[in-house]
Amino acid sequence: MNPIRILHLEDSPNDVELVRAMLADRRIHCDVKRVETDADFIQAMEREKFDLILCDYNLPSFDGSSALGIARKKCPDVPFIFVSGTIGEERAIECLKIGATDYVLKDRLARLVPSIQRALRETGERMAHKQADLALRKSEERCRQLAENIHEVFSLTTPGMTEVIYVSPAYEKIWGRACESLCQSPKSWIEAVHPDDRERVALITTRVLHDAVEEEFRILRPDGALRPADPLFCPGGRGGTGGGPVETPGPGDRKNHPRYLSQIHRNYAASSGKPEERPGQSDPDAAGSDESLRERARRDAQRRKAAHDSARGAIWKNLVLPLTFRIFM
């Protein structure tokens, strides 16, 4: 275990030895560097890293308050403890208000070790929180960049989809509706589903409470265009959040190809017994063989699964887990 690096600002060598002896007696493994002047104090902080600063209040060259001010500027995260024989209670309280960690009277050195242990423990916890907060901000920034620069729609909702916590900007491009409208009315997305698919899709909100659900359906955009969709709905995590529709890329992908749209209508017609509905788009490969269509559908399913797995992993790593951490820490 590395020794505790202590910078001791003290003009009395005997007092420094008393502190060393006290720490050694309590088996505190430390390396104490003594300085006496303000110049040496500043130079030590600039050249070395310390875990703790001990300081007398009354010094020949300058006072403890000035030393505290310098230390807060040079190394604000290092705990600072006054060890003095003349500091009064009122002055000690003032020092605590401006950044001192604690104060110990020289005639009560038995308090020094517990004070040091508490100061180092609290500093460690504070640094851990600071690092975690920094990691959280970096993760949130990665998620923001992910959300704003990919052509995928994903959202975070409460169980049952009663509240939308987040929806990515691609929702407006693919669904043709404002993100704000979904946040204000979390169930409004179901209104965009084709009437013949709506009842089946509405059941997703109960199934997704327990299992991930992938459901293929059709979207009616406000401009009248019919668009196929195959979102992945994920159950909630520890934070009580769930994933809403996670949809694979929009413009330029297979879903915009007339062949794929036509195939969805044929699949729906076959499963429902209703005649095939045409969305007003031509199907250049309608005369193709069933075997060829099945092979293309198989490849599409494989690509869709890979895209969903990748999107879901990115969402949970960069958005759900950081959000859960923020809620529970």
* Full set of structural domains in the chain with CATH: 4-132 (3.40.50.2300), 150-328 (3.30.450.20)
- Rounded to 5 degrees, φ, ψ at 248 are -75, 165
250 or 13, higher pLDDT: 13
**What whole-number distance in Å separates Cα of residue 169 and Cα of residue 155?**
10
Say which range, 49-53, 123-127, 157-161, has the weakest mean pLDDT: 157-161
Q: Is the pLDDT of residue 143 over 50?
A: yes
The set of residues, in sequence order, having a beta carbon less than 8 Å from that of 138 and lying 6+ positions away, is none
- Would residue 289 be called left, alpha or beta, if left means φ above 0 and alpha means ψ between -120 and 50 degrees? beta
Q: Is the pLDDT of residue 207 over 60?
A: yes
Report the pLDDT value the prediction gives residue 102, as an integer from 0 to 100: 94
3 or 227, higher pLDDT: 3
Integer angstrom CA distances of residue 76 from 104, 116, 123: 20, 17, 11
57 in Cβ contact with 13 (< 8 Å): no
Element (H, E) at 35: strand 30-35
Report the pLDDT value the prediction gives residue 235, as an integer from 0 to 100: 59
Q: Is the pLDDT of residue 46 over 50?
A: yes
Residue 243: is it exposed, middle or buried by C-beta count within 10 angstroms (0-12/13-18/19+)? buried
